[in-house]
Chain A
Amino acid sequence: MQRTTHRLSFLGKIITFDCKRGTVDGERSELIFSSLLFERENNRFVKAADGAVVVSRKRTTHVDIVKCKCAIDVQKRVAAVYVLVKKKNEKGENFHYSLHTLSRSNRLEPCIEFKLPYEMRENVCILQGPTVLWSQAGNVFYTSVQAGEVRLIPIQLSSCVVGQPSFHKGQVFVLGVQNLSEQCQNNQCTSQTLGYFVDGGHVFDGDMILPHPYIFITQCILVISAEEEQGVLKSAVVVATSNQQLVYFENGIIKDICQLPFEGPEDIQMVNTGRNGWLFVIFFQQGHVCAVWKETFQIASHWSGISSVHVDDFLGCGTDQILLAFKDKGVTGPLLDHFFLTDLCGISYSVMHYATEVILTFQQNYLFTLQALESRLQNGLGVLQELQREVRVKERVVQESVQALTDVVSGRETVLSQPEQEGLIALWDCDDGSEGEALDDKMQNMPAESSKPQVDKLWHRITEDQLVVGVILTTDSSSQPLASVSLSILTETGQSSTPAVIQTQSQVFWLPEPCPSSSSSSSSASTFSEPAAKRSKQHNAGRLCDLNTCRLAVTAVTRLTPLLNSGCVKCCVMLHYIRRQDAVSLVSNPTLGTLHCGQVSLDIHNDFQTVLLKNPEHKTDEVKEDLLSLLTLLDHWVFHIDSPDHSLGDIDSWIQKRVGSKRIEVCPQYLLLNSSGPSALMLLHWHQITPFQGELSVHSSQLQMLLFLKSLLAYLPVSCAIQPAKATRRQGEAQLFSLALEKEVVSLRDSVSLLLCEKDEEEEKRKSLEHNETPMLGSVEGLQRCRESWQQDVERSKMKLSPMLNLGRYRSLTQSMSKDQLYGDLATLLEIQRTLLS
C-alpha cells in the first residue's frame, strides 16, 4: 500500500486520514483525521477540527488505511464519512478489517468489523449502507451493517464493475462477465454480461446498462442513474475504457464518446457547475486530471501532477467546485498549501508555484463566434462582389447589343472585318444543303414511270397467339417513292364468297444494302486519323434509301385465334401502297395501288411453337425473317439519353456484357437479350450520337423494358436524363421542312428578279438609242431639248421605282408563289405534328 495521504471531501471540508504510531511508547497505533476548511478571504485552507482514535495497542500489528469514502447511512438517512482500516498481526494469518465512521461530533467510531483470511485487493468499495464490497477470485463478497456478516453474491462474475448511482437514483449493482460453458456452440458468445443488484438480490441482463464488448475494457465507471421504471431498467452511465475513451451510455446504447488524453483512468466524478452544466472529472494514474463537459462531451481542461482531486462546494455558494491538490516534493503535511480550486466557469482560486494550462471554454466560444461573424462578413462581401460583376457583364452586353441595334436602325452596317465573317473556329460542321438539292433535281429529271413493286418473298411466323406475315419488296423508287405501304390479310370464310379483311397492324422496314456497318465505335477509333473534309458526303449508314432501288420489308401482325375456325385456313395477303410524283411534293396527286402478294396457309395440326431467333449468329434468311417478325411483335420504344455533365462511356460493351446477350449477325446493330421467361426476348439497338448523347431503341415487352431501364439507370451517371422519343430521328423528315422553306424563298427571289430584269433590259435598249446627241446649252432649242431629256429622266426614274409589269407574267408569278407557300405551310404542319403533337 502506498503511503498516500487519504483525503476526501465532505460537506465542503477536506478531511485527511492517516495512520500513525503513537509518539508516547510506540505501541499504540492511531488513526488520525484532520479536517480543513477553505477561507475565501485568505485564499487558503485552515484547520477546522482534528482528532484521533486508537486502533490497536499491540506493537506487532501493522495498521493501514484501505480506503476512505463518503457514503450514506441508510438507517440514519444521512451521509457520513467512512474509513476502512486493516490490521495485520505479523505472526497471524488473518487480516482484520474495521470500518470507522466520523461522527458529527468529530469523533471516529467503529461500525463494522470483520476478519478475512486473505487481503482484499480487487474492487474494494464502500457503498451506501454502509456496505463494504470486494471481489476475490471470481467471487464478490460484501458485508454491511444490516447483513452483519460477510456474504457472497450467488453468481460467479469475472471482470467486475461496481456501480453506485449518484444522488440516490437507483440501487447499487455489480456488473460482471459470466462464462457460459456449454450453452452455445458458437465461439462468439462464450460469455455474457450479468448484473446483480446487491440490495434487492436479483440478477439482470448486464447489456441493458453496458454492451458486452465494453465490460472487458472498462477501467472505471460512474453511474448517473440506474432505476427500474415499470419493469424496465433505465440507466445512464459514464465509463472510462482502456482505449483512452470516455463513453456515455444511456440504457445500454452509446450516446457519445470522447477521446481522453491520458491512460489509466482511476476515478470519475461529476461536477455541478450550476447554470453552465455538468462536468466529468477523471483522475488518472500518473497524477493527470481531465475535465469533460457533459453536454458537448468535449474536453474542457486537463492538468498534470495532481495528487488528488475533490469535488464539493468548498465556497459554500451552492454549486460544486473542483479542488486539485498538487503533488509536491517533500511536503507531506496534511495542510493543503498547493492547490487549485476552480469550477471552469469563472471561479478560480489558486496557490501554485507554477502555471498550468487552463483552457476556458468561454474564451473559446468567443473565438468561435468571432470566426463565424468574420466568415459571415466575408461571404456577404463575396456575394456583393459577384453581384457587381454580374452588373458589369450585363452592362457590357447591353451596350454591345444597343450598338448593334443602332447600327441596324440607322442603316449602318456593323463593321465586321473579313476574318470575322469567315469565322475562326467553326464550332459546327456546315451542313450541306446542296447535296439534298442535287438529289431533288436528279429525282425530278428522271422520267415519271410508274412501276409496281416486286414481291421477293412472303413468309409467316406464329408465336404464342399471334401470327406475323411478312413480305420483302423491291421497288424502284427513284422517280416515285412509295409513301404509305401496308399489308392486309384476307381470309376466305368457307361459305361466303367475299373474303373478310382481318384486323392487322402493319409496319414497314427499310432494309439497308448489306454493307459493312460502321458501328458506334467509329467516334473513338478515328480521332487521330486525318479529319474528314468539311464538306463531306452524308454518311451512308444513316441514309437507308439508296437512290435507285429500295428493298422494303412490310409486316403485318394479327391475332391467331380468330383465324383458326377450321382445320386449314388459307389467307391472302394484299399489299397497298401510294405513290407520289416527287419526293418532296405533298400536294401532287397520289396514286393508290394494290398488289396481291400470295397466300399463307395455316394448319391447326401443325406445331405452333416456333422459337424465334434460336441462332442469332447465323446469317440466313430465316434469321432475318425471325428478326423482322420479332420487331413487329414486340413493343417498340425509343429513348433519348442525354447526359449534360458526364460522358456516357461505353454503353455498347456494357450491354454486351450482360448475361445472355448476342449480336444478330444478319443485322449487327441489334443485340438480342434473352433472359429467363417466356416473353423475355429483347432486342436492343444503341446509337451513340455524341459522347454525351445517345439513342436506345428497345423492342420488348413493357416489363422487360422497365427492368432493363432500371439496370441501365444504375449504370449511367447521375445527371442523365432519359426521355422517350416517338421514333428514331430521321434526317429526311427534318429536311423536308427546311427544303420547303428554302424552295419558297428561292423561287420568290428568282421569279421577281427575272421579272425586273426583263424590264431593265428594255430600258437599257431605249437608253442606248437616245443618248446620241449632246444638247447645247446655248440656244433655246438646246435648252428645250435639255428640259425634255431631263423630264424623260424624271419619268424614267419614277417608272423604276414603280415599274409596270407584264400582267400575264405577274399572274403566273403569283400563282407559283401561292403554290410554294401552300407547300411550305403543309410542310410546317407536318413538322408540328411530328414534333409536338405526336
Chain B
Amino acid sequence: MSNKTCQPISLLGKWVQENNELVNKWKLQEIGGNTSIPGQNQTCLRGWSSEFNKLLRKIQGVPPLADHTQLELSVLYNACVCAISQSQFTEAELLLLQSTERALQMTGNNTLASDPNVFWREVLKSVGNTALNVCIVHLLCLQWAIWLATCQLNMINDSQMDLSSLFETLGDGLGNNRRSESSEIPLLLMDTRKLVELLQICTLIAQGAERLSEGQSSEALTGLQAALSLAAPRNLIAYIHLLSGSCLAQMGRPQMALQCYRNALETDSQCVCALYQSMLIYRLLGNTQAEIEALRLLHSTLILTSATESALSSVQLLSPSLLLPSQSLSSLLSVPSALSVLHELAMRCVLHGRVSEGVEHYLDLLATLHSEDQHGVKAEVPLLPRLPELYLEAGAALLMSRLPADCMVLCDEVISKTLELLPEKLILEHQEERGESETRDVNDSVAVLLWAGAAYLLQGQCYAHLKDWKQAVTHYTRCINLVVKVCFKKRVTGFQSQISSADMVVKNGTDLCILKKLKGLSLAGRGISFTQTDKLKEALRDLQLSVQTSPECVGAGLWCGEVLWRLGRRQEAAACWEKTWSFNKESSFEVLPLYLQEALSGPLLDTMELRQRVQGLGLT
C-alpha cells in the first residue's frame, strides 16, 4: 500500500505533469514550424485553449486545497493566456477574478471588492511574501494585458505605481530562481518577463497615442522617449519613432519630425505610415519635389506590401496587434489606399510641372481601375473621385503634354457614357451649405452635365491645339449649349425668382463656380478660334461674354483686347488690356478641378508686345 502522506501530492504531481507536458508540446510546436494556412492558427489555439481549460476544470472540480493553489494559479495563467490570445477578453477577465477568489479562499481571505484595482491590491496584501506572491503577480500581468486590449487605459493609469514597482521585483526575482527546474514546478506558457516587457512597451505606446490624440504632445513625447530604452520588437520601436514624429509635428517642429520618421523607416521598412506622414510634412513645407518623391515611394511600397502580405508568423500568443487595438492609435497609423496615393501623385505631378510623369501615373491609375473592374473585385476607394472626373483629369494632363489625340479619346469615352444621362433642363437651387467634398451620385444630373461640358471643352481645346479651328468651334459650342441649360434659383424669403447665373455671389468649389468657369473658358476658347478664322464680330461677342462671366480669365481679356485692336478700336483695346492686367486674382484657383485650368486654353499672346502697343498708343 502506498504511503498515505503522498496521496495528495501524487494527484497534484499528475496534474503538474499534465500541465508541463502541454506547455512543452506548445513550445515544441512554436519552435517547430510556421503554419502557412491562416485558419490553422486559430484552430490550433482553440485546441490548446480547450486543453488548458479542461485541466483547469479538473483542478477546480475538487474543493480547494492549499497544496494545489500554486498549480491552480499556474494553470489558470496558462488558460487565460490562451483565452486572451483568442480575444475572449470578458471571459478571460471573469475567469481570472473568479478563480483568484476561489484559490485564495485557502488563505482564508474572502476579498469581494468589486473594483478590480482594489481587488488586486487586497489580494496582493493578503498573499504577502509567500510563494503565491509570484503567481498573483503573473495573474496581475494578465489583467494588465486585458486592460490594454480593451483600451481601459484609465485603469492602468490608476494602478501605474503599483504595477511598475511590482514588476521590478518580478524581473529581479525571476533571474535568480531559474535553478530549480524540477518537475514539481508547473511551467508557464508565456515567459512572464517577456510579457511584462511587451506590456510596458504597449502601455507606453497606447498612452502616447491617447495623449497625442488629445493634443498633449509634449507629455506624449516624454513618455515615448522613455519607451525607447526598453527592449521591444522592431515594429513597436518603429511605432514609437512614428508617434514621436507626430508629436513633434504637432509641436511645430517639422524637421525633427522628419528625422523621427526616417528613424522609423530605418528600424522597420514596413512602417508605411512614416512615409505617408513625411509626405504630409513636405507638403506643409511646400517642398513639392520631395512631396512627389515621397508619394511615389509610398505608392510603390504600398503595392509591394499588399503583394507580400502573406508573411504569416506562427501562432503567436499575445501579439502586439492584439494589445494595441485603440482607435486613436489606428487612426494615427492609417494610410490611404494605393490607388488614392497614385491619384494624388498623378495630380501633384501635373500641377507642379512634371506633366509627362503625371500622364503616366494617370494612365496607370486608369489601367488599375479597369483591371480591378474586370476581376470583379470591388475596390473600396472612398477618397477617389468618380471615374469620369479621373478621365477628365487624365485628358487634361494628356493635353498639357501635347497628346491631343489621346485626350480626345478619353473625352469621347466620357461623352459617350454620359450622353443618355444628360438632362434637358436643370434648375439648381443655390444652397449655401453644400460642402466641397461631397461624393457625387451617378444620378446626380448636375455632375453629369458638368462632366459632359468639361469633356466638350477639353475636346475643343484639343482641336485648338491642332489648329483645327472649325472643329474647335463646334465643340466649344456644344459645351456652351450644355452650360446654358442650367438655371439658377435663389431662395429669397417669401417668393422665388429665377435669376440668371451671372448675378450670383460665387462660393468656391460649388457647382456654380465650376459652371461659371466652364462657361468662361468655353466662350473664351470659341472667341479665340473665331479670331483665328477671322470672324471677328462673333469673336468679340464671345470674348466679352467670357470676360463678363469669369473675369479672372486672363487669356480671354487679352484676346478681347486683341480683337478690338484688329477691329480698329484701339482705345477700347488698351482699356481692355489695362483692366485685365489690373485684375487681382483671388486665391481661389486651388479648388477648381484639374481640367479647368486656364493653361490649356489655346494660343497665348505675348504680354510684352501688348504693353508696347499700349505704350505706342499712349504716345500717339
Contact = CB atoms under 8 A, between A and B. Distances in A.
A352 B82 CA distance: 44
Which of A382, A646, A648, A718: most chain B CB closer than 10 A? A646
A424 B8 contact: no
12 contacts: A189-B5, A207-B7, A212-B8, A212-B11, A245-B57, A375-B39, A393-B304, A424-B297, A646-B232, A647-B233, A657-B172, A692-B234
Given A528-B225, A648-B231, A205 B266 contact: no
A644 interface: yes
B61 A646 contact: no
Contact of A257 (B61, B175, B293): B61
A425 interface: yes
Given A424-B297, A692-B234, A213 B228 contact: no
Which of B7, B194, B248 neighbours the largest number of chain A CB atoms within 10 Å of its CB?
Answer: B7
B307 A392 contact: yes
B11 A425 contact: no
Interface in A488-525: 524
Nearest to A644: B234
Interface in A422-439: 424-427
Nearest to B31: A718
B38 A382 contact: yes
A213 B221 contact: no
Nearest to A654: B175
B63 A216 contact: yes
Interface string B352-366: 001001000000000
Given A205-B2, A390-B307, A649-B229, A715 B293 contact: no
A675 to B, nearest CB: 13
A217 interface: yes
Nearest to A530: B256
Interface in B51-70: 54, 57-58, 60-63, 65-67
A182 to B, nearest CB: 13
Given A241-B61, A715-B175, A378 B231 contact: no
Q: Specify which of B67, B229, B265, B304 lies most central, judged by the most chain A CB atoms within 10 Å of its CB.
A: B229
Interface residues of B, number: 60
A648 B233 CA distance: 9
A419 B231 contact: no
Contacts of A650: 229-231
Nearest to B5: A189
Contact of A645 (B38, B175, B233): B233
A561 interface: no
B8 A213 contact: yes
B39 A379 contact: yes
Nearest to B40: A379
Given A386-B310, A389-B307, A419-B289, A212 B7 contact: yes
Interface residues of A, number: 62
B262 interface: yes
Nearest to B232: A647
B250 to A, nearest CB: 14
B99 interface: no
Contact of B308 (A243, A393, A715): A393
B234 A213 contact: no
A188 B66 CA distance: 9
Interface string A687-714: 0000110000000000000000001001
Contacts of B225: 524, 527-528
A607 B207 CA distance: 63
Contacts of A657: 172
Contacts of B307: 389-390, 392-393
Interface string A372-383: 000100110011
B105 interface: no
**Which 4 pairs, one residue from A and one from B, show the smallest C-beta to C-beta distance?**
A649-B231, A424-B293, A393-B307, A419-B289
B229 A528 contact: no
B37 A379 contact: yes
A420 B292 CA distance: 10
B5 A243 contact: no
Interface in A12-68: none
Interface in A352-402: 375, 378-379, 382-383, 386, 389-390, 392-393, 396
Nearest to A425: B262
B351 to A, nearest CB: 15
B5 A186 contact: yes
A186 to B, nearest CB: 7
A257 B233 contact: no
B294 interface: yes
A50 B403 CA distance: 108
Interface in A183-231: 183-184, 186, 188-189, 192, 205, 207, 211-214, 216-217
Contacts of A217: 61-63
Interface in A255-271: 256-257, 259
Contacts of A426: 262
Interface string B252-294: 0000100100110111000000000010000000000110111
A418 B293 CA distance: 11
A722 to B, nearest CB: 16
Contacts of A243: 60-62
A392 B228 CA distance: 38
Nearest to B253: A528
A209 B404 CA distance: 94
B269 to A, nearest CB: 9
A748 interface: no
Nearest to A396: B303
A527 B293 contact: no
Contacts of A645: 233-234
B4 A192 contact: yes
A71 interface: no
Given A189-B8, A205-B2, A378-B39, A420 B293 contact: yes
B38 A379 contact: yes
A691 B178 CA distance: 27
A17 B8 CA distance: 45
Interface string B391-408: 000000000000000000
Given A212-B8, A528-B244, 17 more contacts: A189-B7, A213-B65, A217-B62, A247-B58, A254-B14, A257-B61, A383-B37, A389-B308, A427-B262, A427-B266, A524-B225, A527-B228, A647-B232, A647-B233, A647-B234, A649-B230, A650-B230
A413 to B, nearest CB: 15
A445 B290 CA distance: 44
B527 to A, nearest CB: 37
B58 A257 contact: yes
Nearest to B290: A424
A110 interface: no
Contact of B178 (A180, A531, A714): A714
A334 interface: no
Contacts of A715: 175
A110 B357 CA distance: 109
B293 to A, nearest CB: 4
A399 to B, nearest CB: 12
Contact of A691 (B63, B194, B267, B290): B267
Contacts of A211: 7, 11
A667 B12 CA distance: 55
A213 B60 CA distance: 11
A436 to B, nearest CB: 25
Interface in B203-246: 221, 225, 228-234, 237, 244
A188 B57 CA distance: 23
A527 B262 CA distance: 12
Interface in A287-331: none
- The interface centre, meaning the residue of B65, B278, B293 with most chain A CB atoms within 10 A of its CB, is B293
A247 B256 CA distance: 65
A427 B265 contact: yes
